[in-house]
Chains A and B, each alone.
Chain A
Amino acid sequence: MSATLAELRQALNAIEGTGFRRRPALPFGIGAIDDRLAGGGLRLNALHEVVGATPDLADDAAATLFLTGIAARAWGTVLWIVRRRDLFAPGLAQAGLATERVLYAEAADDAEVLALMEEGLRHRGLGAVIGEVKRVGLPATRRLQLAAEGGRTIALMLKRHGRSGVDPLGVPSAAVTRWRIGCAPSAPLAVAGVGRARWHAALVRQRGGESGEWLLEACDATGRCALPARLVDRPAAADGRDSRAAA
């Protein structure tokens, strides 16, 4: 019934022209990336894959934070299906994902992760479902993609590197976008210390769109990434905040 109501509500909005329309995609708020993405952002009713650039745990943590930022900008409760309990909620909260929004589930193996993800996607009451898997085949991802379609729950999959050294993005998948995130040296500061973290973000493959590669500044307290100041097409001094980085 609620789905019907939502449709009716949308139709009313379109007739009245109030200008408010629920977007089917989640934009990054960064023009360079949103233009490259097919729907102007990450499609909400689709599966997206993220991989750390190397098997190193630091890159794994970077990919984790990238997912955290996306989930933080989505709506509602987030179901995070983990394989081991090493997520640190204060760190996630600093990337914009408040701890009250997260529901954690621990799965015993990859098959269970996929089953729980599908359960969460079919519930339709979640904002995002995140699963950590190691090896997953094409049929399973297609199943998840089908489960995600028709809802507003964004399906995010953190793929881990296996022992064999096979690139997790090399296996076929039905995911709409596939990202590779790696650590990059942080924004330089004028004084000693660690600046805002930066990532090498690569959109490796995208259905209906082109790939791309960017140097991103990590999520701020609201889960938003940014481009480093000198890449933005305006004088760095006008921003003021990143004047040191531009100097």
Chain B
Amino acid sequence: MNDQVKFTIDGKQCTAEKNTNLVEAAKMNGIYIPTLCHLEGVKPAGSCRICNVKINGRFMTACTTLVVDGMVIESNTNEIQELRKIIIETLFVSGNHFCPACEKSGNCELQAMGYKYQMMVPRFPYEFEEKEVDAKTTKLYIDRNRCILCKRCVRSIKSKDGKSIFAIKGRGHKAVINIDHKLANQMTDEEAMHAMETCPVGSILRKERGYVDPIGSRKFDHKPIGSEIEETVTVK
């Protein structure tokens, strides 16, 4: 029992194992904290910032924060939800996201988040920055127009001897995702498919797969993102 900690999220009494990050701890208590960069079992990066919550009155990213006894957490408040919506809008305007023709449409977490937060039109101007695609590997097509720099691929997709297949090149607003062609060409079909599924958007595509998931059977066709954790989750 000493391994259990008690805390509250939006006033709800919760318990979780010590050293659990807040996103997972909330999930165990049936509360959805939205994320785009977090991947279960992979070291958190806190790069997308959508999981921002207020802990004891201060903003912190839930994925990088371990839950401790007595924490008072605010998540579903107007202020925080508006902040999350702003982040989603900035992700849309800083990339070139054309959902109608994207094969990840319906399975895309960013698109699903846009729907969840009812993003009708972003409040910021589109950047329409020219971004290069990389189609040179045999199994993967990298479309940087859609990359949100979540680093999921960098952190989790490794070669058999543990080398990173993906990396970030450049810094700040010039940062782009890069792929090691030699290592990528050694990936099996399953590994390539796993890389596509790991990407929350349509930036890493398994070549020649296309639109094999019919409309109606895609991940978010019928249920909004987060509903597997919190059935009735609503954005204030």
Same assembly: no
Which residue numbers of A lie inside 8 Å of B, CB to CB? none
Residues of chain B touching chain A, judged by Cβ–Cβ distance below 8 Å, are none
